[in-house]
Every structure is written in C-alpha cells, then in structure tokens.
Amino acid sequence: LDVDLARGRRIAELAREAAGRGILATVISQHRFNPSSVIVDRAVRSGRLGRLTTAVASAPWWRSQGFYDSGHWRGTWDLDGGGALMNQGVHTLDLLVSYLGRPVEVYAQTALLAHDGIEVEDVAVAVIRFAFGALATLQATTAGYPGLDTRVQVQGTRGSAVIEAGSLTYFHAAPESGVPAQADVRNDAELEIHAADLPRSPRLDNTYLEGHYRQYDDIADALRTGRPAGVTVDDAFLSLATVVSVYVSATLGAPVAFEDVVDGVHDGLRLRVGQSTPPAPGSPSPAAAPDVSDASTRDPSVR
C-alpha cells in the first residue's frame, strides 16, 4: 500500500470513494492466496479451530551488510518505511492479521544489532492483543544468519495450524462431536491439503509464485463479476497500521492503542529504533559479519 501511514490512510479513503463509482482497487498480498493460507483461513472462518486464543508469527531472516549498502534508500525511514518488519516480515504479519482480525493494543521493542549505516531496525518483537481477546507474538529479523523459514502458528479452543515457508506443516481440529478428554495431537495436514481441492497451477514450478497467480485470478474474477477483490485496500491498511503500531510502541517504549495509530494520533512522531547495542569487546563488528549472498533467503519475492 505505502510505507507511510498518512498516505496509506488517504489511499484507503480514495479506494472507498472509487468503489462507490464501480472502480476496483486492491493490493497484492499474495501469501493470503497460497493454498496453505487458504486452508487455514477457511478453518478459522468456519470455526473449526474454535475461538482463537494465541498465535505466533515469525520471519527469522538474514540480510547481509551488502544488501543494505546496495541502495541509498535501503534502511531509511523515509524511503524504506522501516526495516526487518516493514520489508521482510510484512507478509508474515499480514497473514497473522488476516486470521486474528483487528488489533487492539501493541507492545513492541526494536533494535539495530547487526548492521552499520542504517536508520531502521534489524530486530523487532511484539505482543499484540486482538479485538476478540487473542494474544499473539511477532518476531522479524534480518540479523539471524543464515536465515530460517517463516512461520505462522494459530491455536484455538478446538484446533491448531502451522504454516512454515508457505507450506501447511501441521493441522489438527477436534471432531464435530466435541473436544476429546485426552488431547489428540496427530497431524492431519496432508489430509487437509488433499481435501481442500486447491490444485497448484500448471503454469509454474515455483512455490513462491503460486500466491501471485491465484491472486491475479481473483482480481480478474472480481473485475468480471463486480464483486470486491479478495484483498481490499482497507485490508492492506490494517496490516500497515499494525506495522506502524509496532514502530510507535518501540519508539515510545510503551504499549499503544491500535485505534490511536489508525486515527493518526501519532502521525507526527519521529520513529526511531528502540535499541542500538555496540558489539561486545573482542567480537566482530556488524560490518565484519559474513557478507553471504541474500539469494539463500527463503522467499525471493520479498525485498
């Protein structure tokens, strides 16, 4: 949508006005359309997982010093909008918000621990409380060599699901007859994948492109039928506002009310990284860390 919340807010207003004139506006959030994401979304919306209680979203990635040195805009508040969360972790956070709904409160800390010459965070952690009571933890980093797979884990009173690197790696929901007295931890992920009837596109052999193709199909169908797109500008604004809430909380060193951020109460706040820690005596500086290729990152579709 944008890296600036005020501009994002204006775009959302214009999109709502355009919708009244029959003009479709949408934002690419391709991970929502991955088959695994669709399976979990259906389970959440149908109530198969019960009342959602907790969730974990993690984007434990690595970016070398050379990555940030490769463009003057990288690692800046004005042009990049943030660091590990805004750029690398945003799609993981977007899935979290799509499952749990509207945040109520965000309490976060950020740090710059492994890179030189940038303004933004390479580590962000947060606790998010959602409108229906669920609590979630969020982690995003570009300071975790060599980088691990993204993970979204949702748990409810009737079931749990885990998506790792875009694949459904765990799924179990209680039978319709009720939650058994003894916990059944068997993994039904493969059964869910087969039952979902979401075949992969024959047009590609790259898992990371699957969501893009499926979202383009959704947009085309929305244009043909006149229905809203599967992802609205308001959806994207909600995720952007959650990212900004993390930064506002880290800057203030206190929990923030999500609606205050949405309403622009903190629009004039100068964002900063909460902590920048020098290396311990005798340890290599961030610039001396291995400048490995960022091609090893699990999802090349994200900056």
- CA–CA distance from 185 to each of 53, 72, 162, 170, 176 (Å)? 17, 49, 13, 10, 16
Residue 132 lies in a domain: yes
User: What's the domain range around 86?
Assistant: 5-280+292-296
Domain of residue 221, CATH code: 3.30.360.10
What is the count of structural domains for the chain?
A: 1
C-alpha 141/C-alpha 259 separation (Å) is 26
Residue 303 lies in a domain: no
C-alpha 102/C-alpha 125 separation (Å) is 18
Q: Are strands 151-156 and 123-130 parallel, antiparallel or unpaired?
A: unpaired
Residue 21 corresponds to which tokens in the numbers above? Answer: 């004139």
Decide: 21 and 115 in contact? Cβ < 8 Å: no
C-alpha 145/C-alpha 27 separation (Å) is 31
Q: Are strands 123-130 and 135-141 parallel, antiparallel or unpaired?
A: antiparallel
Residue 286 lies in a domain: no
In this predicted structure, what is the pLDDT of residue 117?
Answer: 96
Closest CA to 59 of 142, 170, 167: 142
C-alpha 114/C-alpha 64 separation (Å) is 9
Residue 219 backbone phi and psi in degrees, to 5: -65, -45
In this predicted structure, what is the pLDDT of residue 57?
Answer: 99
In this predicted structure, what is the pLDDT of residue 206?
Answer: 60
Closest CA to 295 of 87, 64, 60, 88: 64
Decide: 290 and 284 in contact? Cβ < 8 Å: no
Residue 302 lies in a domain: no
Decide: 52 and 128 in contact? Cβ < 8 Å: no
Q: Any alpha helices (H) in 20-115, and if so which ranges? A: 35-46, 65-69, 77-80, 90-100
Q: How many angstroms from the chain centroid is the CA of residue 239?
A: 8
Residue 252 lies in a domain: yes
Q: What is the mean pLDDT of each run of 10 residues along the chain (303 residues)?
A: 97 97 96 96 98 99 98 96 98 98 98 97 99 98 98 98 96 90 87 81 65 95 96 98 99 98 97 72 53 45 50
Decide: 266 and 256 in contact? Cβ < 8 Å: yes
Residue 274 lies in a domain: yes
Residue 301 lies in a domain: no
